[in-house]
Chain A
């Protein structure tokens, strides 16, 4: 257990629906990251927060994706109008000298 928790662990949704994932980080870590991992690939950076400020977003993050970290605590990642290509594992991580990852949320869009 890394101390980073993600909810839900699995999500199956129909194409076109909206989904929201939650990440609860290690409390003393200011930086929080979202990564996406598709089958056979390593995780790819999506976005990161320093406290409540979202400092950078990857080009992978289309307009359908939005992330928040209110009050610099937990974070949410929302995908609107899901597409089959959004099917992936979504990983949250918080960082000190090294990154601590949550168990991930596996999204399947049918």
Chain B
């Protein structure tokens, strides 16, 4: 069965500094990978996806993610974090007709 691991519970970063949120995955076949963001008491908002093609994927709000097949990783990155980026971030992998999510990373951007 497909699965995702997000090893850090919380990521703290100063405003203006680079932000990285880590994700590793396990799936049979070609990986379809996603990042979502969730604000308090809200649903999930799609940020970006990797289906095929370039290993560096660009998404919404200045986020990007790097797919690394040999390390089975799909880390989310942003060059310069904003206070408004403070939220819960989920990595997901598609398999067996559904998404499997990690437990999420709380990102706190410190002004």
User: Residue of B at shortest CB range from A102?
Assistant: B43
Residue from A44, A99, A104 with most neighbouring chain B CB atoms (10 Å):
A99
- Do B41 and A106 have beta carbons less than 8 Å apart? yes
Whether A42 contacts B46 in the complex (CB less than 8 A), given A33-B98, A48-B98, A98-B34, comes out as: no
Which of A40, A43, A101 has most B Cβ within 10 Å? A43
Interface residue count for A (Cβ, 8 Å)? Answer: 26
A41 touches B103 (CB 8 A): yes
User: Which label, helix, strand, loop or mixed, suits the secondary structure of the A interface?
Assistant: strand
Taking a contact as CB atoms under 8 Å apart, the answer to whether A99 and B43 are in contact is no
Verify if A74 is at the interface (C-beta below 8 Å from B): no
Taking CB atoms and an 8 Å cut-off, the chain B residues in 85-99 that contact chain A are 90, 92, 97-99
Describe B's contact surface by its main secondary structure.
strand
Contact assessment for A42 and B49 in the assembled complex, using a CB-CB cutoff below 8 Å: no
Which residues in A have their C-beta under 8 angstroms from that of B41? 104, 106
Min CB–CB distance A56 → chain B (angstroms): 7
Partner pick for B100 among A31, A33, A41, A45, CB 8 A cutoff = A45
Q: Which of A2, A4, A56, A101 has the most chain B CB atoms closer than 10 A to its own CB?
A: A101
- Contact between chains at A99 and B46 (CB < 8 Å): yes
Residues of B within 8 A of A (CB): 4, 34, 36, 41-46, 49, 51, 90, 92, 97-104
Report 12 cross-chain contacts, Cβ distance below 8 Å, ordered by A residue. A6-B43, A42-B4, A42-B90, A43-B99, A56-B98, A93-B44, A99-B34, A100-B46, A101-B36, A101-B43, A101-B44, A101-B45
Report the 3 A-B pairs with minimum CB-CB distance, sorted nearest first.
Answer: A42-B101, A101-B43, A101-B44
